[in-house]
Amino acid sequence: MWNVPLHSFYMMMFVVFLLVVGSLVCYRLTLKNPDRDYTELKQRIQSWWWMIAIIFGILLAPTPVGISFFALLSFLALKEFFSIMPTRQADRRVLLWAYLAIPLQYYWVASEWYGMFLIFIPIYVFLFLPMRAVFIGETKGFIRSLGTIHWAVMLCVLCVSHLAYLLKLPVLNEQGGALGLVLFIIFITQFNDVCQYIWGKTLGKHKIIPKVSPKKTWEGFIGGVFTVTLISGGLAPYLTPLTTGQGLVAGCLIAISGFIGDVVISSVKRDLAIKDSGTLIPGHGGLLDRIDSLIYTAPLFFHFVYYLHY
């Protein structure tokens, strides 16, 4: 099967099956309710087809291609973040150095230099960016500007790069392979978003943080955590080195952190008075709108697996 580990292949086919079902449901709804506008739903499903096709193609390619893809993802996410955040004219040269952190961070991934991978952005970039800003000589807005820039690099570069490093970890589950870890975290994270949405729509009455995300409810959150934890426990042994018990813990961790990532980026957009972070993905908004949960779940999942098995 194109040298794809068996369980990863089954996982990919299951995702395709879900997309086929979603497309058929959308088509059915369109026929049943011709007066209703399902444009956004159609755009969302079409975008999912493109996104899944790209992700699968990248994961089936040699590992350097996958690392390069995630580096590009970091670049696009950071560019989008800077495009919505107000920055000073004087920050242009600092932003350049923030972008230059991307190839270096992914070089540490490719070379499997784990220590530098961990500390490069939190230590070296953190100390260097303010130094570069000092030489520009503009002190007004200095603290806010540097805090924003480094936080953006942490989210869009360091956190996202953990997805790439999953591809470099030694394979401990032959049936899942290196791509099994990436498939697992991406699927469980996105499935968590769907579950929390469905539970919230079905039973949601008590809002969690209405000023940040009015549609988020305790019923949706708890239902999503419960569902995703069970699914993760059953799926983890097939795609990852995790046992069923460890998979349950991982699922709970992903569900909670995915929710936090979602509402954190929502808070950013509320602060800036914008609905979406961009228009890159039709029906979904910007790239940050789509990977907001993944930004939080990827590093936590990576270090959970690394601590237990590497």
pLDDT in tens, 199-251: 988 888 889 998 888 888 999 999 999 999 999 999 999 999 999 999 999 99
Judge if pTM exceeds 0.85: yes
Residue pair 257/192 in contact (Cβ under 8 Å)? The answer is no
The owner of tokens 């995630």 is 70
Residue pair 242/308 in contact (Cβ under 8 Å)? The answer is yes
pLDDT in tens, 101-160: 999 999 999 999 999 999 999 999 999 999 998 988 888 888 889 999 999 999 999 999
CB proximity list for 97: less than 8 A, separation 6 or greater: 125, 128, 129, 132
Compute CA distances 251 → 4, 40, 281, whole Å.
24, 29, 27
Q: Band the pLDDT of 88: cuts 50, 70, 90.
A: confident
What integer is the mean pLDDT of 29-48? Answer: 79
pLDDT at residue 165 tops 70:
yes
What integer is the mean pLDDT of 261-289? Answer: 84
Going from N- to C-terminal start, the domains of the chain cover 64-168
